[in-house]
Structures are given as C-alpha cells and as structure tokens.
Amino acid sequence: MATVTELREVDQKDFAKHGLTKEKLVEMLRKMLIVRKFEEKVEELFLVKGLLIGPSHLYLGQESIAVGAMMALQPNDLTVTTYRGHGHALAKDVPANLCMAELFGKSTGNCKGLGGSMHVAIYPKTGSLYATAIVGSGIPIVAGVGLGLKQKGSKQIAATFFGDGACNTGAFHEGMNLIALWKLPVLLFCENNQYAMSTPVKLAVSSPSISERARSYGMETMVVSGNDVVSVYVAAKTAAERARNQSLPTFLECLTYKMKGHGVYDKGEYRPKEEVAKWLERDPITTFKKRLLNQNVLTAAEIDKVEAETQQEIEESVRFAMTGSPLPFDQIMGYVYAE
Amino acid sequence: MKELTYADALREALREEMIRDPNVILLGEEIGVFNGVYKVTRGLLDEFGPERVRDTPISEAAIAGAAVGLALAGMKPVAEIMYMDFLPICMDQLSTQAAKMRFMSGGQLNVPMVLRTQYSLGRQHGSQHSQFTPAWFLQVPGLKVVLPSDPSDAKGLLKSSIRDPNPVLFVESGLLYRTKGPVPDEEYTVPIGEASVKKKGEDITIVAVSRMVNESLAAAKKLEADGISAEVVDLRSLQPFDLETIAESVKRTARLVIASDDVKRGGIGAEISASVTENCFDYLDAPIMRVACPDTPIPFSPQLEQEYMPNADRVVQAVRGVLGK
C-alpha cells in the first residue's frame, strides 16, 4: 500500500545530517540566485525595457524546487519539464548565456532561437532533456523515458516537473497509471503553486488533495515544503534512491506559490492580498540566506559575494544574447527533419 | 519471391528489425497475448518476451507519449494504435510533441518512433472505427506519413520507417491485411518519399493511395479493354510527398485522376491537385478529378457503406469524364 509522507519542512539544525556540506549549501544558494536574478532580469527586459516579447512564465518564488531537486539528482539523470522552465534549465546547468539568447530568439540560444522561453529547458547535453508547453503532456513522455532507461538497464533515472493544473489533464492520469503499473524509475515533482493561471486548486481538483490522488495510483507520495530548498533536496534524495535502487516512482507534491502571476504580463491581482503577503514572507531565498547566516554556515560578506557573482553572470548573459543574431530564415527548413 | 499476406509481410518487417536492433520495442493494446487485433504481431511476444512486446492499458495518449519518451531515451519504439479513429486521442503527442521536437530544440533532439495504425473502411465498423484521415497530418511538418498498398511495400516501408530518425505515422489498410502478394526473399527496404508507378500508361495518370491503388489497378484493366491506357502511381507516402514522379507522369499524360479513401473536401486529393496545378498547369489538358468519399461520417449499413466507398468503377467513371469518353 502506497503511503503519503508529510515531510513538509525537515529539521535543519544540522545540515550535515542531510549530507549538506558547506560547498553544497553554497551551490544551492548560487543556483537559486542565478534563477532569481535571471527571472528578475527577464521581467525587466519585458516590462521596462521592452526588449523581450512573447509568453514567458516566471519561476520567481519556486526556485527552491528546481534547485533542491536537481541537486539531489545525478548530472546525467534526465528531466522533462514545462513552459515555466527557466528555473529548471538553469538548475540543470544549462548555461545562462544560452538561455538568455534563446529568450531573445537568437541562433546562439540552446534551441537556436527556434524554441523560445517555453522550451528553454531543452538541453540534452546536461540531461535537461525536454520541456513541453502543453500542460500535462510531459507525464506520458517521462513514462517513456523511464521505461527506456529501465529497459536498457541504465543507472540513470528520470524526473518530471509540472504544476497543479497538470493534475487535471487526461495525460496526467494515463501517464501516472503507466509509471506506477510498470514501476518506472521516475520522480514526479508537482509544483503546487496554488493556481493554474488564475484558477485556484480548490476550484479545480476534486480529490481532498493532489497527493491523495497520486497515492491512489499506488505510488509513494511525499508532501514537501516547496519553498524550502533543503526539504526538497532531502525528499528528492530519498525518492531518487528509491528510483535508482528499486526502480520505483515517487510523487512529490511541493507546496509553493508564484511570486508573480501566470505569465510575465499577469500581475496576479485575482489573488487575496493577505495570501500573497503571507507567502512572500516565506520567500525561499530570503529564508535560506537567513538560515545560512544564523547557523554560521556563511557570513554576510560571503553571501554578498555570491549575490554579486550571480548578478554579473546574468548581466553577461544579456550582453551575450544581444550580440547574437537570429538564424537565417532559409535555414529553418533544415531543422524539420533529421537525415 | 514468396507469397505473403499484407499482415504477414508487416509482421516479417517487425520481426527482422527486432532481431537487427535490440532497441526496437513494440507497445500497444492487445499486441502481445492476443497477438494483435489483426494478428500483425502474431508470435512476437513468444519470441521476444513481454519487455519488447509490451501490452498496454487502453491509454492512447500515454502509448504515444511513452513512445516519444522511449525515442528520447534512445530506444526505437513501434507503437500500435488499433484504429486510425483513435489517433485524435493521442494527437497532442504525435502532432504537438513528436513532430515538433527536432525543430523547436534547434536540432538537439531526434524522435525515431513509428506509430502504426490501420483504417477499416469497408468492414462494417461504422462511423468511429473506419475513417481514413492521413490528410490531417499534411498540416504537421516534422511527421512522416507512410501508406503502403501491397505486401512488398508494406514490409519494405515498415523497415525503413523503423530505421528512420524521424517520427513516422504508418497507416495500414484493414481491408488489405488478408490480401497476398509477392515479397522478395532477400533483405530489402523501400525508401520513404518515393512514389511507385504500379502500371505504365499513356492517356491518363491515376494517383492512388493505400487500398485505392488496387481499385485503380482494377480500373486500369477495365479501361485497357476499351483502348484507354491509364498509368497508376502509388503515392506510398504523403510526407514527404513525391511530386516529381507525379509531375513526370502528368507531363506525359496531361490528365490526372486522384483516388483515395478519405473525405474529398480538404483531403489528400485536394493537396495533390493543388500541387500539380501549381507546378504543371501548362501541361494539363483537362481539369483534375478526385475519387474519394462523400462529406458525411461513414454509414454502418453494409449496403450504404458500399455506396459510400470509392471503387474501381468510380475510378473508371472519373477517367472517362476527364477524357470525355
């Protein structure tokens, strides 16, 4: 019988207990800051400078999920993510330069400017295998990836990321069934950010909770504080071990919140002000920094250094993106079919 | 040459490719224990085991999606969707995922998968188990669409489809499964994207697809008796589309009839007709005519279905109309 484990927030008095060395903690902070600064820059490029257009779905407030998850995976594990994928891409080591150039539609982007923001997490070189812009569609795909890895006897595992909205699609249910039925080495990170566009979970999900729905497929399920990077890391580690050693899937419902609206142009004004304020107090980066300081892992100066370095990396990515040019139009035909 | 049924020729292709490449795996509903609804996968479960011949739940979207994922993970999946009418259930995976992955990843991803399906027009399967809709996929760049009309092509084209680095929709004809034809004894493949001139002729070109190739050959025989020499071109694949062979033929005959089992409006014939008009207008001596199905869902009543379906007589009629004879 599958169970739902309510991990919520793990004990963090002792980071070492979770295998978190100073080096790893700094890496966590660095990655979260890269995502945060990338997204803040993207927002500025859209809204202030008018340099970017098209749909762009920010990951602000959810950084700890991608970062905690990716740090628990091996570099060659494969991910299938979504159109809200800047954070997944950066956390899975897609260089910021390539991501930014992709958002600008330049041939120097990882998808040569043919994919754009919603597919920026496609970079198989670092295991960032695929990113879909159709809600729910990644779940059957990750079933296939997991099956392929299992059948080849690979030690690699697969992980997928999707929002609460995906849990109401047919693809979700068909995919969940296959993953549980065939015991596939897959981690399913449901980033429950409380809203599918503007529709709150309570108006969209019939079951008492998303985790309860997952458990009903016979899948081990965890409910995790998605705004706490260490909790996500610890849960993902357990799940990854189960996938790698026993070829069993785990569903991780990560509770979180979008700091902004659905897309870059959405101010999210349909959300109660008190609710927004309550969640903003739990900003995953602010709280993590506070912990690192309080527990004497890092000094304020050391944190400032990471801040400055990551900011510089993002500024550089904009310069890189702006110097590129789009693919010549007569070349796009060459990307339709493989020879 | 040996004689094989269309279904057995397909089965040979699957079997040979599974032996040739351990990454080739089959998945679909009823393909294993039940040996396939049309017995195309007969015996393969016994020979290759349940991991390589994988029975799935009734989950078309997940079958197609899993095939996409398997392909991304380095396998060569051949998924079966029992009826062409079920394709809309997995349309997202086929049209929006598989077909676009290579392009929108800037060439980083390839999706070497085959999705086999069949249409059962003429088998009294009613409106929801009979339709032939390959023309939908003309709007989906990135996908290949293959439709063999005889056992030899069925085998050779399926082998090519499995080896192809792109997603291939492989459309079989339910009515043809039991038909027999010569199949080479030795190893061979048939390239995707090349039409085949099944009968040479001088007076008119008939471009036909899938089951209608056989009907068109029968029509050509009837016309021969009346001194009309018709050339029959089997399109064999809709994407890519061999305009060159069609144009070469039309330039000689100056007349064209297109025969297919889909609804006429917006169908295969419409695309071929438009392409020929754009490229060979000056060579045409008469309007292009299409022989296809009427704009209604498919009726169940066996008598009505017979009236609904195109056949050799209707091809003869169309040819006579074009020639004014």
Contact B166 A124 (CB under 8 A): no
d(CA A12, CA B265): 66
Query: Is the domain of B156 the same as that of B236?
Result: no
In this prediction, residue A8 carries a pLDDT of: 80
Query: Is the domain of B151 the same as that of B282?
Result: no
Query: Is the domain of B99 the same as that of B123?
Result: yes
Instruction: Answer yes or no: are the C-beta atoms of A259 and A280 closer than 8 Å.
Output: yes
In this prediction, residue A264 carries a pLDDT of: 87
**Residues of chain B positioned with their CB less than 8 A from the CB of A85:** none
In sequence order, what are the beta bridge partners of B2?
A: B183
**Residues of chain B positioned with their CB less than 8 A from the CB of A142:** 69
Residues of B forming the active site: 60, 129
Query: Is the domain of B169 the same as that of B307?
Result: no
Contact B144 A337 (CB under 8 A): yes
**CATH code, domain carrying B32:** 3.40.50.970
Cα A180 to Cα A139, A184, A244, B274, distances in angstroms: 12, 7, 15, 49
Element spanning B122, H or E: none
Cα A187 to Cα A86, B260, B323, distances in angstroms: 19, 46, 65
What is the band of A6 on the pLDDT scale with cuts at 50, 70, 90? confident
Report if residue A243 sits inside a domain: yes
The number of folded domains in chain B is 2
pLDDT higher than threshold 80 for residue A1: no
How far from the centroid of its chain's Cα atoms is residue B72's Cα? Answer: 25
Report if residue A49 sits inside a domain: no
Nearest CA to CA, how far is A35 from chain B (Å)? 21
Domain span at residue A180 reads 4-40+60-87+133-209+217-317
Report if residue B268 sits inside a domain: yes
Report if residue B166 sits inside a domain: yes
What is the band of A221 on the pLDDT scale with cuts at 50, 70, 90? very high
d(CA B275, CA B92): 28
Interval B245-276: pLDDT, tens: 999 999 999 999 999 999 999 999 999 999 99
The amino acid at residue B73 is: A
Cα A238 to Cα A115, A177, A229, distances in angstroms: 33, 22, 14
Rounded to an integer, the average pLDDT of A120-147 is 98
In this prediction, residue A34 carries a pLDDT of: 98
Report if residue A47 sits inside a domain: no
**Residues of chain A positioned with their CB less than 8 A from the CB of B107:** 112, 334-335, 338
Chunk chain B into consecutive blocks of 10 residues (it has 325) and report each block's average pLDDT, rounded to whole numbers: 97 98 98 95 98 98 98 98 98 98 98 98 96 97 98 98 98 97 98 98 98 98 97 97 97 98 98 98 98 97 97 98 93
Report if residue A125 sits inside a domain: no
Interval A259-294: pLDDT, tens: 988 898 898 999 999 999 999 999 999 999 999 999
Of the candidates B57, B70, B93, the beta carbon closest to that of A147 is on: B70
Among the residue ranges A7-21, A61-75, B84-98, B255-269, the one predicted with the least confidence is A7-21
Of the candidates A114, A171, A339, the beta carbon closest to that of B106 is on: A114
Domain span at residue B215 reads 196-323
In this prediction, residue A5 carries a pLDDT of: 87
Query: Is the domain of B20 the same as that of B167?
Result: yes
Tokens 């009629």, residue? B317
Contact B108 A146 (CB under 8 A): no
Chain A touched by B61 (CB under 8 Å): yes
The number of folded domains in chain A is 1
Chain A touched by B142 (CB under 8 Å): yes
Query: Is the domain of B164 the same as that of B262?
Result: no
Nearest CA to CA, how far is A110 from chain B (Å)? 7
Rounded to an integer, the average pLDDT of A62-88 is 98
Report if residue B189 sits inside a domain: no
Report if residue B188 sits inside a domain: no
In sequence order, what are the beta bridge partners of A220?
A: A250
**CATH code, domain carrying A170:** 3.40.50.970
Query: Is the domain of B45 the same as that of B165?
Result: yes
In this prediction, residue A2 carries a pLDDT of: 83
pLDDT higher than threshold 90 for residue A11: no
Query: Is the domain of B212 the same as that of B116?
Result: no
Query: Is the domain of B265 the same as that of B294?
Result: yes
Report if residue A167 sits inside a domain: yes
In this prediction, residue A308 carries a pLDDT of: 98
In this prediction, residue B324 carries a pLDDT of: 93
In this prediction, residue A327 carries a pLDDT of: 98
In this prediction, residue B283 carries a pLDDT of: 98
Of the candidates B64, B69, B102, the beta carbon closest to that of A336 is on: B102
pTM summary value: 0.97
Contact B70 A124 (CB under 8 A): no
Report if residue B191 sits inside a domain: no
Query: Is the domain of B71 the same as that of B102?
Result: yes
SS3 for A42?
helix
Query: Is the domain of B9 the same as that of B35?
Result: yes
Interval B19-62: pLDDT, tens: 999 999 999 999 999 999 999 999 999 999 999 999 999 999 99
Query: Is the domain of B205 the same as that of B281?
Result: yes
Nearest CA to CA, how far is B180 from chain A (Å)? 33
Tokens 């008939």, residue? B206
d(CA A189, CA A166): 11
Q: Which of residues 187-206 of B touch A (CB under 8 A)?
A: none
Report if residue A172 sits inside a domain: yes
Q: Which of residues 7-36 of B touch A (CB under 8 A)?
A: 23, 25
Instruction: Answer yes or no: are the C-beta atoms of A120 and A88 closer than 8 Å.
Output: no
**CATH code, domain carrying B311:** 3.40.50.920
Burial-class residue B139 by CB neighbours within 10 Å (0-12, 13-18, 19+): exposed
Instruction: Answer yes or no: are the C-beta atoms of B199 and B230 closer than 8 Å.
Output: yes
Among the residue ranges A197-201, A307-311, A322-326, B315-319, the one predicted with the least confidence is A197-201
Report if residue A332 sits inside a domain: no
pLDDT higher than threshold 90 for residue A4: no
What is the band of A129 on the pLDDT scale with cuts at 50, 70, 90? very high
Q: Which of B64, B31, B89, B143 is nearest to A143 (CA)?
A: B64
Report if residue A188 sits inside a domain: yes
Chain A touched by B103 (CB under 8 Å): yes
Interval A238-249: pLDDT, tens: 999 999 999 999
Contact B69 A140 (CB under 8 A): yes
In this prediction, residue B325 carries a pLDDT of: 84
Beta-strand pair A158-163/A128-132:
unpaired
Rounded to an integer, the average pLDDT of A175-199 is 96
In this prediction, residue A13 carries a pLDDT of: 80
